[in-house]
Amino acid sequence: MTIEVALLDHTQDPVRTLYTAFRVCYSALTPAQIEARIADGRITRDQMQDFIDTRLATGHASPLQQIWFEFGISGVSRAFSHQFVRHHIGISFEQQSQRYVTYKDGTFPFTTPESIRRAGKEEAFERAIEAAGDAYLELVDSGVPAEDARFLLPNATNTNFKVTVNYLELLHIADLRLCTRAQWEFRKVVAMMRAELKRAFPELARYIQPKCGEFRLGYCDEDYEAWEDCPLGAKRPHKRTLFELYERARSANGGSARGLGDLDDDDFEIIELEQVGEPAEQY
């Protein structure tokens, strides 16, 4: 079965909502006054997007929870779904039930990984699927409830989702699941979610990247060997390389007081001071 992802609904105007949420944090104006300035054109679309981009660059993320997107996802495997539902903050799921949906003829849609086809083992895989279907049908026909017969169904069995996710969590999911180390099916689903959002809101979709993307961490924090094997490693640095460059620059600068080291008790005394330098922005 082919994977399908559709953007079903979303915050009415995500850019406007996100701008207002950010602006409330940095303005003496009330939310109603901010909205009035948008409505009468004193704040343009470009100004809103520029302000959003500036705030996102600082790492101020809480307003991202105020915009949401609804997706319909079908044709994914139960192997995928077991991973998907581990994301549980900022996302809600409704999933096709194997308790209430009965495969009455013993056949069910399933996913065959390409690695099985490449290995020439597709026939053996499908024999196992067919055997599971036959046994499932035998149980159902003998009066075993579908909720118990489903114990036979493999991870390859397809399922469907309707999800609502806020923008902050969508970015977090992409951080992890667009990484080339993520499972191939999850990467495909998130890439399709990104493509759907890109058609509707390209200015927001560009931030949906793996964590090494220029709008996210900007570097790889996986183990070094994984980075060496990654096809994106040619254009995204590993954190170890950044640390080495930092130390090299420090040495070239005469060995300034700044340098890598473990945080100790003296560092935590600094952290506990009421103020260090200029006050930070309060979120």
| Structure-block tokens of residue 231 | 């096809």
- CA quadruple 76, 82, 83, 86: dihedral, nearest 10: 130
For residue 79, which of 156, 177, 183 has the smallest C-alpha distance?
156
Q: Is 187 a catalytic residue?
A: no
Strand partners, 217: none
Tell me which DSSP letter residue 143 carries.
T
| Structure-block tokens of residue 208 | 């949906």
Active-site choice (177, 187, 194, 236): 177
Q: Give the strands of the sheet with 158-166, arranged side by side.
A: 4-10, 68-77, 158-166, 91-95
Q: How many helices and strands, by DSSP H and E, does the chain display?
A: 13, 4
Sequence-distant (≥ 6) Cβ neighbours of residue 210 within 8 angstroms: 174, 175, 178, 179, 180, 216, 232
| Structure-block tokens of residue 67 | 């915009």
Report the C-alpha gap between 130 and 152 in whole angstroms: 11
- CA quadruple 79, 80, 86, 92: dihedral, nearest 10: -130
Report the C-alpha gap between 20 and 30 in whole angstroms: 10
Enclosing H/E stretch for 56: helix 45-58
| Structure-block tokens of residue 258 | 């700044």
- Residues with active-site annotation: 177
